[in-house]
Amino acid sequence: SAVISQKPSRDICQRGTSLTIQCQVDSQVTMMFWYRQQPGQSLTLIATANQGSEATYESGFVIDKFPISRPNLTFSTLTVSNMSPEDSSIYLCSAAGTGGPVEQYFGPGTRLTVT
Amino acid sequence: AQSVTQLGSHVSVSEGALVLLRCNYSSSVPPYLFWYVQYPNQGLQLLLKYTSAATLVKGINGFEAEFKKSETSFHLTKPSAHMSDAAEYFCAVSDSGGYNKLIFGAGTRLAVHP
């Protein structure tokens, strides 16, 4: 299984600012994903981070608000731009491709509070 | 389009009792199904997965789930609950395995009381 770390683990930010979340995997993976988990809710996929090409965003999420980078097969970043209190959530990254095509492993999440 | 429905947002059982968490899916193609557990202030941990092999799948921590195509269900069970099982449980579906996105259910919060 893959071990995934995220930085920061939590942050409190002011509205209008931006925060970049880092996701590091301990081995090369084919796919990386970013999810949002709003308070008391389930997980919603924001985008698929593609290595060497632009991320693929789900309906309701746009690149200007959530720019994503995937510079190599073990690392990705998600930026939450121009934050508002509605962006307060847990942001999780996941990775697939290490234990066979059906294994998807999650990082510990980044708990973001926007004031 | 795929979807997952978890019946019961909260389930409470006594320690030592049977745990049953319900999950029904909708998929136009043969699905891959997963159960994840989330402990407080932690990420998600994979409990078990169904990938079209055996219909009864055994996972970690004594959990198992049975895929029933006729009922489009993938319920999670554990014969005897332990206090440490208290957590949020998520059922998820994918149509082509882990390379594709996971569609999650709303989650079921399991409480275990003495």
The per-residue pLDDT for range A95-104, each reduced to its tens digit, is 987 555 567 8
Selecting from B44, B90, B97 the residue whose C-beta is nearest the C-beta of A102 gives: B97
Q: B8 and chain A: CB distance < 8 Å anywhere?
A: no
Where helices occur in chain A by DSSP H, the ranges are none
The SS3 assignment for B111 reads strand
Q: Is the dihedral of CA A19, A16, A89, A70 positive or negative?
A: negative
- Asked if the model's pLDDT at residue A66 lies above 80, the reply is yes
d(CA A68, CA A17): 16
d(CA B41, CA B53): 33
Residue A4 or residue A96, greater confidence: A4
pLDDT at B28: 76
pLDDT at A44: 93
Comparing CA positions, the residue from B3, B89, B81, B14 lying closest to residue B44 is: B89
Distance from CA of A108 to the nearest CA of B (A): 4
Q: Are B98 and A97 in contact (CB under 8 A)?
A: yes
Q: What is the pLDDT along chain B (114 residues), one digit of tens a residue?
A: 788 999 999 999 999 999 999 999 998 777 889 999 999 888 899 999 988 778 899 999 999 999 999 999 999 999 999 999 999 999 999 866 545 788 899 999 999 999
Q: B43 and chain A: CB distance < 8 Å anywhere?
A: yes
Mutate to test the interface with A, among B37, B38, B44, B93 (most CBs of A within 10 A): B44
DSSP E strand boundaries for chain A: 4-7, 10-13, 19-25, 31-37, 43-49, 56-57, 68-72, 75-80, 89-96, 104-106, 110-114
